[in-house]
């Protein structure tokens, strides 16, 4: 198990920042109160973000990692360590966190290993979202329509 900072909030915030600066492939599953599921896949490379819609079609958004980083933003993190588990086959420390970024406050759980987030869970408007992150297989789709094009 990788060692992380003793201060939970520092470790969680560090993982959030580092994960936001690292190319990643992610799969998010949303489950509503009736158990209906929807899945979204995204790929963030150094210079572009790709999103796959329900019909399997990929779109490119023209968003580089540097466009996602806002160092001026103030984010407060309240955190507690809540155990250990594996996420996407990677041993991780689980943090229960409350993030307040001056716009809204969210309760989350994140699975952190090697200063990266490998899984996250949050609930927004009654829908539970679970996201798995993969930093090893970040390959953009062969064909992607620029967002806004038909």
> Tokens standing for 51?
């999103």
Half-sphere exposure (Cβ direction) of 22: Cα atoms closer than 13 Å: 19
What domains can you pick out in the chain, each with its CATH number? Answer: 8-145 (2.50.20)
With a pLDDT cut of 70, the percent of the chain lying above it is: 85
Phi and psi at residue 19, to the nearest 5°: -65, -35
Confidence of residue 2 (pLDDT cuts 50, 70, 90): very low
Q: What's the mean per-residue pLDDT of the chain?
A: 85
> Tokens standing for 25?
């492939």
Confidence of residue 30 (pLDDT cuts 50, 70, 90): very high
**pLDDT tens-digit map of 34-59:** 999 999 999 999 999 999 988 899 99
Confidence of residue 66 (pLDDT cuts 50, 70, 90): confident
Can you say whether the dihedral through the CA atoms of 16, 103, 98, 54 is positive or negative?
negative
pLDDT at 70: 62
pLDDT at 6: 46
Please work out, in degrees rounded to the nearest 5, the angle formed at the alpha carbon of residue 53 by the alpha carbons of 144 and 69.
Answer: 75
Confidence of residue 101 (pLDDT cuts 50, 70, 90): low
With a pLDDT cut of 90, the percent of the chain lying above it is: 55
> Tokens standing for 30?
């949303």
**pLDDT tens-digit map of 69-97:** 765 556 677 788 889 999 988 999 999 98
Q: pTM of the prediction? A: 0.83
Q: What spatial distance separates the first Cα and last Cα of the chain, rounded to whole Å?
A: 47
């Amino acid at each position: 198990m990788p060692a992380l900072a003793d201060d939970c909030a520092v470790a969680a915030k560090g993982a959030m920042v580092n994960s936001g600066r690292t190319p990643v492939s992610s799969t998010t599953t949303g489950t509503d109160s009736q158990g209906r599921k929807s899945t979204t896949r995204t790929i963030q490379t150094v210079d572009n973000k790709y999103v796959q819609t329900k019909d399997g079609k990929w779109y490119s958004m023209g968003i580089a990692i540097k466009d996602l980083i806002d160092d001026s933003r103030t984010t407060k993190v309240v955190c507690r360590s809540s155990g250990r588990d594996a996420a996407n086959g990677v041993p991780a420390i689980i943090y229960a966190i409350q993030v307040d970024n001056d716009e809204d406050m969210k309760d989350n759980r994140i699975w952190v290993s090697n200063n990266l987030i490998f899984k996250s869970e949050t609930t927004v408007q009654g829908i539970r979202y679970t996201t798995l992150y993969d930093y090893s297989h970040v390959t953009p789709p062969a064909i992607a329509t620029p967002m806004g094009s038909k």
